[in-house]
A and B are shown apart, each in its own frame.
Chain A
Amino acid sequence: MAKNSILLLRNYMQYALNLHTKTYCTKTPPHYDIIIVGGGMVGTTLACTLGKNSKLSDHRILLLESGTPHNWIKTEKYSNRVSALNLNTYNLMNKIGAWKHIAEIRCSSVKNMQIWDAISDVMISFNHEEVSNVAAHIVENDLLIYAVGKELCCLKNVEVKNQVKIKEFVLPQQPSQNVFVHLNEGETFTCNLLLGCDGAQSQVRNAMGVNYISWKYDQMGVVATLKLSEANENVTAWQRFLPTGPIAILPLKNNLSSLVWATTPDHARALIELKEVDFVDKINDALWKPLDNSSIIQESTKAFNKLLEFFELPTSNEKQLPPKVIGVDPGSTAAFPLGFGHATNYVKQGVALVGDAAHRVHPLAGQGVNLGFGDVSTLNKILGEAVYSGRSLGQITDLQEYETLRQRHNFPTMVAIDGLHKLYNTEFPPIVLLRSLGLQFTHALNPLKKAIINQAAR
């Protein structure tokens, strides 16, 4: 009996406590129209782009970032993490006013590209006459965030919160409901539209529970800043496909280039342990050292070259020689794992994924972040149009349009990149022969090359 009364009493007390919290302690949490999770390159750019969209003016935007506030100070030393920005990204940066800050500080342009097969020595090149302008801009990731952040801090409708850890997202079940974002510190925000830009390990994606197809490549990316011997005009991006993975060097300035080398994990770990002199030797070997190849492949590619010459088409004989590496910037060497990821759905009612949260690719084509910036452009346009058509933000029909448009571009690009990776990750002679002939053929046909450039520029 006594036990029962105690239980009863406890129940009552709990009830009273609940009542108390409900009536006195709940106030409506701060509401935003849009909350962006993740302040990386894509998240920051998205916040800035939406904040500057006149059709979304006086919509309140909140950017949540787990890291400390970004504080970039210019030093002589270049960062080892750089991105090759395509034409679409360049236009976006110009539109939001961030490009002038980048151009003021530093960036380099790629005017030519040369890609060749280490086994057959067949190459393809993209020259600026064919591209008609700059193929890509090489910008340090930190500098890009700094430049966008400089524009972002002038916007009155965008708030940024740093060092924020998110406990959970409560996504709407019905169109009229809001998204709730609960922080670890106990704060809560609500919004009409939640945008997940929180990278490959996206928390937002987990909360959405969408199907995510992913695998790890048996490769790691090694990055470093390289010193070159020649001090002449450095405007060419070089990439050589080795059987273990592609090695690429991208121009930073006249005697400096950035290395992105995808190779087997064991090799990558060994490389970053090496002394500078040995590492330089390995890089030069990877760029220059001829590999044994079978005579059949040699004869076939030669014969095909002859055939192309007969029709006066471009051949692989015009191959340029890559620069010689003489040193590595101390402390610039690092390695990171590579993977593929594809969310089968980018959106749900009131929430959308942007950038690496939705898709992750092999860096061999330098497309990863550009796909993310493409998402930003498309989403910005669709959200502006939605509001201008009298619809509220976060409507599933608008978000689905974003998903359709982006998947139509992203997915084929991703499949192509993954296909290239698989195609070049083998030494099996028939495959090497076929890919070499295919590369020669592509190089010979300008319209095909232009189509590739167009896909990569969007």
Chain B
Amino acid sequence: MTADPLLNSATIDPKEYAIFNNISSVWWDPKGEIRALHYISSLITPFILKEIVNAGLPKKEFVNTTTPLKGLEILEVGCGGGLLTEKIGSFGCNLTAIDINSELIEVAKHHATLNPSLTNINYRLEAVEDHVLQNTKKYDVVITNFVLEHVQDQELFLRICIKCLRPGGSLIVSSIGQTWMGWFFGIILPEFILSKIPRGMHEYDKFITIEETQKLLEKYKCRTTSTRGLRYGIIGEPWIWIDSTSMFYILHAVKSHY
């Protein structure tokens, strides 16, 4: 696996690569090791759709139809097995989804064939820094869902994501904050106490607070327009929205025209 040429890229961490390889087989199992990601993608899909619609990107005649995002070019960076990808894809946009893990891309490609109506997703085994070479300023929306805390050089990663975005386009980023709450709810509780996710999946050093993320985005001319926090529910609903963005958060930023 270390022979994979992609691993030489600047944003990829080889340790993380190995962990994600191990869980590729259970990716689509709703009760498997990454079930949290299933719940999260169900929770944030309506949020992402609402944000994109409110930003005025889709054509008006498609809003409130089955294909509200028709005509939009959307890039998902770090799509994994395609959990969020298929949900966003069902809105009828032209979706390009890239990931650097060949096994996960195969899982995603295979799962998409189970639903014959999903013909608008283009999965590619590619790092974002390679993808940007051909696709600068191409996309209306770029989404990276819980990827930022897994990449090597976060500033470079965000900069390249923004580079793919056309001026006026939307960037959706979700991640885990580098706070004691993020440390406890992102690592200690799920990995050690509840053993819900594989150990070593998250590293505290790579967590990044929402303020830090916003500062980086601001540096590359992206203004944050909305933020939301989420956490898993103790009882009842598995994942819920909360006011605090100090642990798990999602934000929407718009790339400036200048």
Chain A: residues with CB nearer than 8 A to chain B? 54-59, 175-176, 385, 387-392
Contact = CB atoms under 8 A, between A and B. Distances in A.
Given A175-B30, A176-B114, A391 B65 contact: no
Contacts of A387: 66, 90
A59 B66 contact: yes
B66 A389 contact: no
A387 B49 CA distance: 12
Nearest to A395: B42
A398 to B, nearest CB: 10
B42 A55 contact: no
Contact of B65 (A57, A389, A390, A392): A57
B32 interface: no
A390 B91 contact: yes
Contact of B64 (A54, A175, A391): A54
18 contacts: A55-B64, A55-B66, A57-B65, A58-B66, A59-B66, A175-B30, A176-B114, A385-B46, A388-B46, A388-B49, A388-B64, A389-B49, A390-B49, A390-B90, A390-B91, A391-B42, A392-B90, A392-B115
B116 to A, nearest CB: 9
Interface in B72-129: 86-88, 90-91, 114-115
A118 B123 CA distance: 75
A172 B91 CA distance: 25
Given A175-B30, A176-B114, A388 B68 contact: yes
Interface of B: 30, 42, 45-46, 49, 64-68, 86-88, 90-91, 114-115
Contacts of A55: 64-66
A387 B45 CA distance: 11
B42 A389 contact: yes
A390 B64 contact: no
A58 B66 CA distance: 7
A55 B66 CA distance: 5
Contacts of B68: 388
A131 B71 CA distance: 49
Nearest to B238: A397
Contacts of A392: 90, 115
B66 A57 contact: yes
Given A389-B42, A390-B88, A390-B90, A56 B49 contact: no
Contacts of B42: 389-391
A34 to B, nearest CB: 13
A389 B66 CA distance: 10
A354 B65 CA distance: 24
Nearest to A391: B42
A388 B46 CA distance: 7
A57 B114 CA distance: 21
Contacts of B64: 54-55, 388
Given A388-B49, A389-B45, A390-B88, 12 more contacts: A55-B66, A57-B66, A175-B30, A176-B114, A387-B90, A390-B46, A390-B49, A390-B86, A390-B91, A391-B42, A391-B45, A392-B90
A160 B65 CA distance: 23
Contacts of A389: 42, 45-46, 49, 87
Contacts of A54: 64-66
A175 B88 CA distance: 19
A65 B88 CA distance: 36
B240 to A, nearest CB: 14
A277 to B, nearest CB: 60
Nearest to B47: A389
A385 B45 CA distance: 11
B66 A390 contact: no
B32 to A, nearest CB: 13
Nearest to A56: B66
A391 B89 CA distance: 11
A388 B68 CA distance: 8
B44 to A, nearest CB: 10
B114 A391 contact: no
A27 to B, nearest CB: 15
Contacts of A56: 66
A67 B30 CA distance: 41
A176 B28 CA distance: 11
A292 to B, nearest CB: 57
Contacts of A57: 65-66
A176 B114 CA distance: 9
B27 to A, nearest CB: 14
A390 B45 contact: yes
Contacts of B115: 392
A446 to B, nearest CB: 38
Contacts of A59: 66
A59 B65 CA distance: 11
Contacts of B87: 389-391
Contacts of A391: 42, 45, 87
Among B49, B64, B66, B91, the one with the most A-chain Cβ atoms within 10 Å of its Cβ is B66
